[in-house]
A and B are shown apart, each in its own frame.
Chain A
C-alpha cells in the first residue's frame, strides 16, 4: 500500500470539512465497540489477564526464531507449503507464481490487514485475477475503491444511507433497501464467487508454534468459506503472530474478541493445521495450503530497543475505539493501513519515520490507549519516543522548533517575558494569529487568551 501519512493534517482537515458524516459514524461505532469491551472486561480480572497476555507475547517475541522454525516444521509435516517473504515484492512473486502454476482466475479474500499492507489486490488484478473481498465491510469499501478505515470494522465510516446509495447504484437494490436486503444482495454475488473461486486468501490472527495452527477470528463465516471452499488456500501471516502453545491460543482468542467487540469469542474461529481434501484425507477443503510468513519491516521493528513492544499487538482495535483523535476522522486520515494510536507507533517502525512522520503527533497523549491495550503496549510512551526522534532528525516544522527556542529565551528573561505578555494581552486574536510564527503554530491549536491582569501584575499589587 502506498503511504500518504505525511499529508495527515491535510487529509484530516478534508475529512472534517467535506464529509462531516464520517466523524459522526466513526464516533458512534467506536463508542459502541468500547461499551461492549467495557462490559466484557467488567466480569473478569482484566489487569491480571493483561499482565499474563503481555508476558506470553513478549516471551514469544524474544524466542521468535525458535517458534517460527517450530511452526514451519509442524506445517510441513502436515503437507502445507511454507514460504518466507522479506518484502511486499516477495509476497507478490509468491502469489504471481501460484496464480500462473494453478491457473487461478478468481480469488476470494477474507479480511486481512497484512494483505492491504503488501497490496495483494492490485497485484492479483494486474495478473488478470478477479478478486472478491468477502467480508461485508471490505466488500463495501472494495466497491468504493477505499482502504479500510478501522482494523475490525473496515466500513465503520459509512452509514446505512451510504450503503443504500452504493448498492442501489452498483447492485440494483432499492434505494430504501433494509440492511437484510442489502446483505442478501451482497451474499448472492459473493456466494457465487465462493463456489467458483480457485484461490482463497486469508490473513492469520495467530500462528501456534506447538501445532502449526493458523487461527482466524470472524463473525460472518466468510473466512471459514474462503479457507474451505477454493482448491488453494494462501494464508499471509506476519512473523510476529506467533503464540507458543495451543493452551495460549484459547485465552488469546477470548482476550482478542473481548477487546475488539466484547464477545466471549468471535462467532466463527478457524484453527487450520494443513491442507484438506484428498491431500489431507478429508471429504472437502483446500487441496493446497500455502503459508506465507511475512517480515516486511517487522524485523526492523523488532531490532528497535523501544518500539519492538508494539509487535505484541493483536489487532483488536481497542486503542482506536477509545482514541479521541481517531474518532474525529476514522482511519483514512492516517494515510496508511494501520491507523489510530497503534498505527501511529507501528507505521514509523514498519515503513520509516520520515514517510509517516506526523502520525506520532496525531495524539493528545491522553493515555487512554494504554489503559485498554490487552497486551500492555506502552503506546503513549512510544508516541513520545517517535516524537523525540522526529525532532532529532529535523522532521518537525522549523517554526515549532524556533518557537520553542524563543519561548525558552523569553521564559528565562523577565523583561522580554513581560513585554510579550503585555503585547499578547492587548493584540486582538485575529492579529496575533497572523504573526509569522504564530500563524503556523495556531493552525492546529487554539491560542490561549489572556484575561484580566497578569499573574505578575497581581503579585506586584500584593495578593489579598
Chain B
C-alpha cells in the first residue's frame, strides 16, 4: 500500500499510542450534530433577496465578481459573442458545452486572455462557485479573466448543501471561487489579480434544460 513503511510505520503507531494514552482518562465529547438551521450564517446579503440566485449575485458582486443572468441558449450565445470581443485567445476547460464556447483562437492556459469553465455547483451563502479538477485546473487559474458558467438549478442556498450535493462524486480537488484573486499584503491596500484571475465573471443559465 501507500503507507510509507520505512521508519513511518513506527512513527504512526507511536503517535496513535500517545494519542490514546493522552485521551485515556479524558471524558469524551459528543459531536453536537448537524448545525441547527437557525445558526446557519445568513444566505441573503444584507438580509434581502433570499432567492439563491439573487443572493449569489449579491454576494459575488460584493466580493468584486460580476454576475450575468441569461434566460436561454439564444441570449447566452448573443451575450458570449459580445463578451468575447475584448479577448484575443481563450483556454477552455474540458466538458464546457460547444454552445458555451466563445469563437476565439485557442491558446495554452498560461497565454490565453480568457479561461472558461463550467461550475459543478454554487453556494449563495458564501457567493461561491464550485469547480471540479476533472475539467482541468489550469484554465481555471492561469488566464487573467475567468468566465464560469453556472446552471441556476445547481445554485444551492447554503455552502453545506452545495458540498453535500458533490459528496458522492468528489474529484481530486474541488475548488470554491468566491471572487477575483486579491491581496492586501502590501500596505493593506487591496490589489486584485495577484496570482489567480483578477476578473471573475459568473454567467448564470436561468432556463433549466440541457445546455
A residues lining the B interface (CB < 8 Å) = 28-29, 32, 43-45, 48-49, 51-52, 55-56, 58-59, 61-65, 68-69, 72, 76, 78-86, 90, 93-94, 134-137, 140, 153-156, 158-161, 163, 179-180, 182-183, 186-187, 190-191, 194-195, 211, 213, 219-222, 224-225, 227-229, 239, 244, 246-247, 249-251, 253-254, 258, 263-276, 280, 282-285, 289, 293, 295, 299-300, 302-303, 308
Contact = CB atoms under 8 A, between A and B. Distances in A.
Interface string B102-145: 00000000100000000000000111100001111110110000
Contact of A282 (B34, B136, B177, B181): B136
B125 A264 contact: yes
A55 B194 contact: no
Given A155-B185, A190-B195, A271 B19 contact: no
**Nearest 9 Cβ contacts at the A-B interface:** A221-B196, A160-B187, A137-B185, A55-B32, A283-B136, A303-B22, A299-B18, A276-B172, A250-B160
B151 interface: no
A83 B4 contact: yes
A48 B33 CA distance: 13
Given A52-B32, A267-B177, A282 B22 contact: no
Contact of A251 (B27, B160, B175, B176): B160
A314 to B, nearest CB: 16
A295 B15 contact: yes
B175 A271 contact: yes
B186 A179 contact: yes
A93 B4 CA distance: 12
Contacts of A61: 23, 29
A62 B194 contact: no
Given A265-B128, A283-B94, A285-B137, A183 B167 contact: no
Interface in B137-190: 137-138, 140-141, 158-160, 162-164, 167, 170-189
B26 interface: yes
Nearest to A159: B187
B164 A246 contact: yes
A269 B187 contact: no
Contacts of B133: 228, 276, 280, 282, 284-285
B48 to A, nearest CB: 12
A273 B173 contact: yes
Given A55-B32, A56-B32, A247-B34, A268 B178 contact: yes
Contacts of A65: 16, 19-20, 23
Given A285-B133, A308-B22, A220 B194 contact: yes
Contact of A84 (B12, B20, B173): B12
B130 to A, nearest CB: 9
A227 B173 contact: yes
Given A68-B16, A276-B171, 14 more contacts: A43-B47, A45-B38, A52-B32, A52-B36, A59-B30, A61-B29, A84-B8, A86-B11, A90-B7, A137-B185, A190-B195, A194-B195, A269-B175, A282-B134
B41 interface: yes
A186 B196 CA distance: 13
B141 A299 contact: no
Interface centre among A65, A79, A84, A300 (most CB of B within 10 A): A84
A52 B186 contact: no
28 contacts: A43-B42, A44-B41, A49-B35, A52-B36, A59-B32, A76-B3, A136-B185, A137-B185, A163-B187, A179-B186, A187-B193, A220-B182, A221-B197, A225-B141, A229-B137, A239-B19, A247-B164, A267-B181, A269-B175, A270-B173, A271-B174, A271-B176, A272-B172, A273-B172, A276-B133, A284-B136, A295-B15, A299-B19
Interface centre among B30, B135, B180, B184 (most CB of A within 10 A): B184
Interface residues of B, number: 81
A6 B35 CA distance: 43
Contact of B163 (A59, A72, A93, A246): A246
Given A228-B133, A246-B167, A299-B19, A76 B2 contact: yes
Given A52-B35, A244-B31, A82 B183 contact: no
Contact of B194 (A64, A85, A187, A258): A187
Contacts of B39: 44-45, 48-49, 52
A94 B174 CA distance: 27
B163 A268 contact: no
A143 B29 CA distance: 45
Contact of A86 (B1, B14, B185): B14
B183 A183 contact: yes
B173 A272 contact: yes
B2 A80 contact: yes
A251 B63 CA distance: 19
Contact of A211 (B59, B170, B172): B170
B39 to A, nearest CB: 5
Given A76-B2, A86-B15, A160-B186, A225 B195 contact: yes
A155 B161 CA distance: 36
Contact of A134 (B63, B110, B174, B195): B195
